[in-house]
Amino acid sequence: MKKALWRFAVVYPALLSLGVGLIAGCAQEKPPAPRPAAALPPLPPPPPRRVLSWGPIPLPQKKPSPPSQTAVQAPPPDLVGLDEQAATRLLGPADQEIERPPAVVWRYKADSCELDLYFYLDVESGRMRTLRYTSKSSGPESRGACVTTILQRNSSVVKNAAPPPR
């Protein structure tokens, strides 16, 4: 009993006064005053704007002629999604067929490029369709230029073909 009384009489008031002192000390602390900003030199004024004068626009002596029909070409068609019959109608018969399961690759060859069409089975329709195509050029041709070259080759083959018998 003496021990409990000693704790109550000595320890608890000491802890209580310590807690009250800490709380009071925190409440009296003031935040430090903000430091004055360092004085920066003023920015120099922007340079004056110059107004450029181009003068009158010269007109051509003669009205230019419109571009020729051969210069204006439609972009090559997108070959993705074609079935085998549509690809044959558009590009003609393939020069080479390569089996690369699950794909069948049709290779078309022109003078300066090769075009590969990758056919995969379309589950919904049950037909083979192109999902992608690639081209390899020996010159600076792009993929579109290679497709255009092969389209032109096929159109000349179709024009030179004999008409079907009646």
Per-residue pLDDT, 163: 45
142 within domain boundaries: yes
151 within domain boundaries: yes
Per-residue pLDDT, 29: 61
95 within domain boundaries: yes
What domain range includes position 139? Answer: 84-156
Compute the chain's Rg from CA coordinates. Answer: 43
CA 68/CA 89 separation, integer angstroms: 28
Single-letter code of the amino acid located at 17:
S
- What does DSSP assign to residue 62? S
Which residues of the chain fall short of a pLDDT of 70?
A: 1-9, 24-31, 37, 68-75, 140-141, 156-166
**Residue 84 near residue 128, CB atoms below 8 Å:** yes
Per-residue pLDDT, 78: 85
24 within domain boundaries: no
118 within domain boundaries: yes
Per-residue pLDDT, 93: 93
63 within domain boundaries: no
Q: Two tokens at 1? A: 């009993």
Q: For residue 87, what is the enclosing H or E element? A: helix 84-91
Q: How many domains does the chain have?
A: 1
